[in-house]
């Protein structure tokens, strides 16, 4: 929204400088994007009339002029402009004037003729890029008056960067109303009386879509002179608002739009057939717009039409076939309220951005629709003459403006300051809001020009704006400092992440959503949580495991010639359970390549199941984990296991399935694990135990078992036997081959026995060993001798 400061001050004139006014508007939410002078600085330039022009006696291309500058005697000025003539009025820079570029005017002798000033072009005054000669002023320009005063060149231009919710300030009336409310200055609204009706004729109007156009006003004006000259003051205000003059009728409708914020349109009655219809476009209908653009209309586009053709895109732009020209004698003035939903997006669809669509898309004041038509009629009769008919009005269901409840306690809570009832009432009155009060509770009815007010928070924002954000103190928050409870049973997540980094893994952060195919292949999940509005087709579902992001990051690194990759991630995973959604936090990692970094001191070997198994076990000391062979969709059959802690399944570990290894272009297998994060961060509080002073005793037990018997089952059996003095039982060897029967395997266990008080004797050791052997025999084990 661009406007002239002088125009604004005819409505409201606060005792503020231009810069101060700009600051007030910006701090109230109407950002002043630009503040510029209308004209560059110059002085001592007056309106002058050329009285006499004679050829210079010593130069063919120069003239000696006698110029009236409003003093007792004319000035002699030498001029070389080709358009200088007797009777023209032009700007004259007098002696002592300083023009743009620090060009100073002095008395000079030009080819032996004294010159006492300079007649100026618009270029020399910095008001135009090019010119054909002197700047010819209107014939009624007052001689002797300073040019800056005559043309209001000390004016400044404000450019507001309006937010979409402040469409009420898209006209001078709205900006002035806002300034009056912010500064408390007196508002001088326009006096727009009902115009005399001297014509009984009306043009029939049929609104076929009352929801899209709840209010349509129209008026016939006959006998206008469309070739009349638009007043200089109106052209000046339009140009300073960024609009160019076209003809008197169009200039008037544009002026009313800039003045009241109500877009209008004028039709040439001679080009109309029958009645006016407001309807949706028909399929395949075309229209040539005023900018000569041909558009094919869709069926959801609102148009203005007569009985024969489409005339205009409603609320956007008129058609070329019905526009007003200088030969027009009869016009039909249109002033309507189009619902924002019926206009929004349509202009953009046709590559248009018009002042009209800008306003209708955001919402105009439907209470000012008829008033704007009266104002346009008033100006049209004054400038172009003619006879006005009755206003025809078609009214439907206008937008409701329900009252909004406001609590003073809520105002205090949100703003942090205490506004009493008198202050709140005063602020609402300045905003022209209708309200009723019941103690500290208010019922506020938003005015028709404020489409953005609908909830209590909107009203609180209005109070804050008018009270002034600068007047709201910046108070430091006050809160008691207390120690937060900290459980030794929990490890911070950062500690877990540091442990993973210490084991040579690097952390990644991947998207929480991925391709449904990846979820189906790697997780066996055929019914993942789907996104209603995915950002991309390959990111359409929520992950139920972190493996997809890790495999994607691994492929990214392999494609960039990385030969050793160890990655981990902590994050949320999502799923469905009993028609409800569940979410869990997990830790997952993947290892690929050699088990250690390349070095001279150790032979390189590929990372395997047991390397990563050791990494997992390092996260859970001193808790013992169990690894039970089990199949997983992403893992190699026979090389995958489910991880148990305290009898509860907490995750998976294994080698990536050869099928996925081939599909994802991996030269060798990757090892992956994933565990519930809640179990990782659980910690056991250290407890004191007596330090043994005596050496432990070691016994090795070798047994033969069937191939199908798991070593873990024997370990569990020996643990449950609770043999005295046994400090540790561990598997240290598995043998198949010569000396072992087919279908059998040999398992060797290390047993450490220890007492903190004495050295154990054979008589104390043997019963414990017997208990362990007996526990294994119950699972089909045979002691090897």
- Per-residue pLDDT of 255-283, as tens digits, reads 999 999 999 999 999 999 999 999 999 98
Half-sphere exposure of 550 (CA within 13 A, CB side): 30
- For residue 323, the model assigns a pLDDT of 87
Instruction: Map tokens 């508002």 to a residue.
Output: 187
Give yes or no: residues 145 and 169 share one domain: no
Domain final position from 638, 654, 681:
681
- For residue 542, the model assigns a pLDDT of 96
Half-sphere exposure of 360 (CA within 13 A, CB side): 30
Look at residue 773 and tell me if it is in a domain.
yes
Q: Flag whether 458 is marked binding.
A: yes
Q: Which two tokens stand for residue 339?
A: 């619902």
Q: Which two tokens stand for residue 319?
A: 């058609």
Domain ranges, residue 756: 697-783
Look at residue 487 and tell me if it is in a domain.
no
Give yes or no: residues 311 and 365 share one domain: yes
DSSP 399-459: PP---EEEEHHHHHHHHSS---HHHHHHHHHHTT-EEEEETTEEEEE--TT-TT--SHHHH
Give yes or no: residues 592 and 701 share one domain: no
Q: Flag whether 124 is marked binding.
A: no
Q: Which two tokens stand for residue 436?
A: 């009723």
Give yes or no: residues 33 and 51 share one domain: no
Distance CA 753, CA 757 (A): 13
Give yes or no: residues 263 and 355 share one domain: yes
Give yes or no: residues 732 and 634 share one domain: no
Give yes or no: residues 545 and 652 share one domain: yes
**Whole-model pTM above 0.85?**
no
- For residue 483, the model assigns a pLDDT of 87
Give yes or no: residues 279 and 356 share one domain: yes
- Give me the CATH number covering residue 414: 3.30.56.10
Q: Flag whether 462 is marked binding.
A: yes
- For residue 603, the model assigns a pLDDT of 84
Residue 38 has a CB neighbour count (10 Å cut-off) of: 19
Look at residue 72 and tell me if it is in a domain.
yes
Distance CA 379, CA 362 (A): 27
Domain final position from 131, 150, 169:
150
DSSP 579-635: TEEEEEEEEEEEEESBSS---SSS---B--HHHHHHHHHHTSTTSPEEEEE---TTE
- For residue 371, the model assigns a pLDDT of 95
Distance CA 634, CA 631 (A): 9
Give yes or no: residues 464 and 520 share one domain: no
Distance CA 773, CA 387 (A): 120
Would you say 586 and 546 are in contact if contact means Cβ atoms under 8 Å apart?
yes
Distance CA 101, CA 117 (A): 17
- For residue 692, the model assigns a pLDDT of 84
- Give me the CATH number covering residue 517: 3.30.930.10
Domain final position from 375, 395, 415:
395
Would you say 496 and 506 are in contact if contact means Cβ atoms under 8 Å apart?
no
- Sign for the pseudo-dihedral over CA of 76, 80, 81, 83: positive
- Give me the CATH number covering residue 96: 2.40.50.140
Give yes or no: residues 635 and 744 share one domain: no
Look at residue 554 and tell me if it is in a domain.
yes
Backbone angles phi, psi at 94, to 5 degrees: -85, 170
Look at residue 383 and tell me if it is in a domain.
yes
DSSP 52-87: EEEE-TT-TT-EEEEEE-SSSSPEEEEE--TT--TT
Backbone angles phi, psi at 186, to 5 degrees: -75, 135
Give yes or no: residues 390 and 416 share one domain: no
Give yes or no: residues 21 and 96 share one domain: no
Nearest CA to 216 out of 154, 269, 264 is that of 264
- Sign for the pseudo-dihedral over CA of 78, 81, 86, 88: negative
Look at residue 32 and tell me if it is in a domain.
yes
Would you say 249 and 380 are in contact if contact means Cβ atoms under 8 Å apart?
yes
Look at residue 200 and tell me if it is in a domain.
no
Look at residue 53 and tell me if it is in a domain.
yes
Q: Flag whether 330 is marked binding.
A: no
Say how many domains are in the chain: 6
Question: What residues of the chain score a pLDDT lower than 70?
Answer: none
């Amino acid at each position: 929204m661009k406007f002239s400061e002088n125009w604004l001050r005819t409505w409201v004139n606060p005792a503020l400088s231009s810069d101060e006014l700009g600051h007030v508007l910006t701090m109230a939410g109407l950002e002043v994007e630009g503040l510029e002078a209308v004209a560059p600085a110059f002085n001592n330039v007056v309106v002058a009339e050329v009285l006499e022009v004679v050829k210079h006696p010593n130069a063919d291309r120069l003239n000696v002029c006698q110029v009236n500058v409003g003093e007792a005697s004319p000035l002699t000025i030498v001029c070389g402009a080709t358009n200088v003539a007797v009777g023209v009025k032009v700007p004259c820079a007098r002696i002592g004037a300083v023009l743009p570029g620090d060009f100073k005017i002095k008395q000079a002798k030009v080819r032996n003729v004294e010159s006492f000033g300079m007649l100026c072009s618009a270029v020399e005054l910095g008001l135009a890029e090019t010119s054909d000669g002197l700047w010819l002023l209107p014939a009624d320009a007052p001689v002797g008056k300073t040019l800056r005063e005559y043309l209001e060149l000390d004016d400044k231009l404000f450019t507001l960067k309006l937010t979409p919710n402040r469409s009420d300030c898209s006209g001078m009336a709205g900006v002035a109303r806002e300034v009056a409310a912010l500064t408390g200055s007196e508002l001088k609204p326009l006096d727009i009386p009902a115009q005399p009706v001297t014509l009984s004729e009306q043009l029939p109007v049929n609104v076929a879509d009352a929801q899209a156009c709840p209010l349509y006003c129209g008026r016939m004006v006959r006998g206008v002179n469309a070739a009349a000259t638009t007043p200089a003051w109106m052209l000046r205000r339009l140009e300073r608002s960024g609009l160019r003059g076209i003809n008197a009728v169009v200039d008037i409708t544009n002026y009313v739009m800039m003045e009241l914020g109500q877009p209008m349109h004028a039709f040439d009655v001679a080009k109309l057939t029958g009645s006016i219809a407001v309807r949706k476009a028909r399929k395949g209908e075309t229209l040539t717009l005023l900018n000569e653009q041909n558009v094919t209309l869709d069926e959801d586009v609102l148009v203005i039409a007569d009985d024969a053709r489409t005339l205009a895109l409603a609320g956007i732009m008129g058609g070329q076939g019905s526009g007003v020209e200088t030969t027009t004698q009869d016009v039909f003035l249109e002033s309507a309220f189009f619902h924002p939903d019926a206009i929004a997006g349509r202009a953009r669809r046709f590559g248009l951005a018009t002042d009209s669509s800008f306003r209708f898309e955001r919402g105009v004041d439907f209470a000012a629709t008829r008033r704007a038509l009266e104002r346009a009629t008033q100006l049209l009769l004054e400038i172009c003459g003619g006879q006005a008919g009755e206003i025809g009005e078609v009214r439907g269901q206008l937008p409701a403006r329900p009252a909004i409840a406001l609590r003073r306690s809520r105002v205090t809570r949100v703003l942090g300051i205490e506004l009493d009832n008198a202050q709140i009432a005063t602020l609402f009155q300045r905003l022209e809001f209708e309200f009723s009060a019941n103690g500290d509770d208010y019922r506020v009815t938003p005015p028709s020009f404020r489409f953005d007010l609908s909830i209590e928070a909107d009203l609180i924002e209005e109070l804050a704006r008018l009270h002034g954000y600068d007047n709201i103190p910046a108070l430091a928050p006050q809160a008691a400092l207390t120690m937060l409870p900290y459980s030794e049973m929990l490890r911070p997540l950062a500690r877990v992440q540091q442990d993973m980094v210490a084991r040579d893994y690097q952390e990644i952060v991947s998207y929480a959503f991925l391709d449904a195919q990846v979820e189906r292949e790697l997780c066996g999940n055929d019914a993942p949580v789907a996104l209603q509005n995915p950002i991309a087709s390959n990111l359409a579902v929520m992950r139920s495991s972190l493996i997809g992001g890790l495999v994607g990051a691994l492929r990214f690194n392999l494609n960039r010639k990385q030969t050793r990759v160890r990655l981990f991630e902590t994050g949320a995973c999502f799923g469905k359970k009993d028609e409800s959604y569940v979410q869990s936090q997990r830790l997952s990692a993947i290892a690929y390549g050699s088990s250690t970094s390349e070095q001279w001191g150790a032979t390189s070997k590929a990372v395997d199941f047991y390397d990563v198994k050791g990494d997992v076990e390092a996260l859970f000391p001193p808790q013992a984990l169990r690894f039970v062979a089990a199949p997983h969709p992403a893992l190699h059959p026979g090389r995958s296991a489910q991880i148990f802690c305290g009898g509860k399944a907490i995750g998976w570990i294994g080698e990536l399935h050869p099928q996925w290894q081939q599909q994802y272009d991996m030269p060798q297998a990757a090892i992956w694990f994933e565990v519930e994060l809640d179990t990782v961060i659980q910690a056991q509080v250290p407890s004191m135990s007596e330090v043994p002073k005596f050496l432990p005793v070691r016994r090795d037990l070798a047994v033969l078992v069937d191939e199908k018997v798991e070593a873990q089952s024997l370990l569990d059996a020996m643990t449950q036997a609770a043999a005295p003095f046994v400090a540790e039982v561990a598997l240290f060897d598995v043998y198949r081959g010569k000396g072992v029967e087919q279908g059998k395997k040999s398992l060797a266990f290390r047993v450490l026995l220890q007492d903190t008080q004495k050295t154990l004797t054979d008589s104390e050791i043997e019963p414990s060993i017997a208990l362990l052997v007996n526990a294994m025999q119950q699972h089909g084990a045979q002691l090897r001798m």
